[in-house]
Structure 1
């Protein structure tokens, strides 16, 4: 399995997710925005799944996911939308943007583990 790429503009979220996932045996790469994420992906890192914050400055997940899914080199990578937006319809909006899965913040680690198991184990 490749690494998990965590994309979030809040370093506290990156720190918390990385710590928990590493404790569960996952290898994580991180990016604080889409520019950095695209650079990591273009460098040929073995990314197996992306956990993407949907609300970021510059380029949010709703803009970024269609770009990833339109790229022949990245379209196969599952993208899990991670968002504080937990209102009715937000899950559908994330999936409509091309996300393969959805989880709301604060992240329930057991639910996240179940999602990851669907795609990476």
Structure 2
């Protein structure tokens, strides 16, 4: 999830090129809709700062939802501060990436999360 459509498209192209199936959203509301439509989603990657609701709000909602509370979440941000990091640690996010995303590190993280058989 990212409100910057160019960043969303770039990340989607990278991940689909590596064989991942991606569903995109530009807001928390749309992300929750995608999660409802596609219960097989195995990971959420979200921007931290959004115009209406933040990525932290999305993660809080996921953690409150019984069937989604353990869903791995990766957060991306160009503006995370120590308060954000503290919130993210409490919400048990998998990783935090600064923008621009270092693609090799992201792919390494995903390879560890989803080992190829």
TM-score normalised by the shorter chain: which range applies? 0.7 to 0.9
The structure with the greater share of residues assigned to helix is 2
TM-score w.r.t. the length of structure 1 is 0.84
- In the other structure, the counterpart of 2:98 is 104
1:118 equivalent to 2:100? Answer no
Structure 1 consecutive aligned stretches of length 4 or more whose deviation exceeds 4 Å: 86-90
Structure 2 residue ranges without an equivalent (≥5): none
Shift of residue 106 of structure 1?
0.2
Which whole-Å CA distance do the structure 2 matches of 1:113 and 1:89 have between them?
27
Equivalent in 33, 36, 47 of residue 30 of structure 2:
36
Structure 1 residue ranges without an equivalent (≥5): 1-6
Equivalent in 68, 77, 92 of residue 71 of structure 2:
77
Bigger relative CO (Cα 8 Å, ≥ 6 apart):
1
Q: Deviations over 1:71-118 (max 9, x none)?
A: 112112100011112556654443234422111110000110121123
Q: Are the counterparts in 1 of residues 49 and 77 from structure 2 also a CA contact under 8 Å? A: yes
Q: Deviations over 1:12-50 (max 9, x none)?
A: 011100111111111111001010011111124411101
- In the other structure, the counterpart of 1:15 is 9
For the aligned residues, what is the CA RMSD? Answer: 1.8
